[in-house]
Amino acid sequence: MKQKLIKITPSNLDVIIDMRYATHNNFTNKKIYENDSCYLIEEAFEHLVIASEIASLVGYKIKIFDAFRPRSAQKQLWNYFPNEEFIASPIKGSPHSRGIAVDITLLDEKLNEIDMGTDFDEFSKLSYHGSTQISKCAFQNRLTLLGIMTDAGWDFFRNEWWHYQLFNSKSYPLIDI
């Protein structure tokens, strides 16, 4: 079944988009994407709409760092850092390459990122959900994000506080564009 990708913009969803792999501001220090367009399949988009609404109800806004990731980009990330604790092998495929994953954080009412204990793409045990090596405030903020996303129907990846995906991710086809 061919999946249709929906472009996410601030005009169709109340979020901030900062596609890090479209810039040099990422762990590779290289631009991986040709542009900063942000996409998800329709089902994932619908869950993100719910998450955005829940976040707003509790005084936050979602900021997106990554969503759909072309397989060619997945291969570049893997070649730079081939570690399955954090990067899916391009052979197996990433939930991002299926259009069903988002990397996000929360912004406060002044649109500042709230403290999550590490930056996005910090590839260490400090990034794990449940890490006790971060401040109490950051731990609570991660729990808030986890609550918002799981209430909206997302599954989480235990090694990255910022990564959420639809359940049964491998049941979705890889998208080749």
Q: Which residues belong to the active site?
A: 160
Candidates 162, 68, 153; CA nearest to 121 is: 162
- β-partners of residue 72 are none
Coil, helix or strand at residue 162? coil
Q: What is the rounded CA–CA span in Å between residue 1 and residue 27?
A: 33
CB 75 within 8 A of CB 41: no
Candidates 91, 88, 99; CA nearest to 157 is: 88
DSSP state of 54: H
Encoded tokens for 169: 């991710």
Angle at 35 between CA 31 and CA 38, to 5 degrees: 110
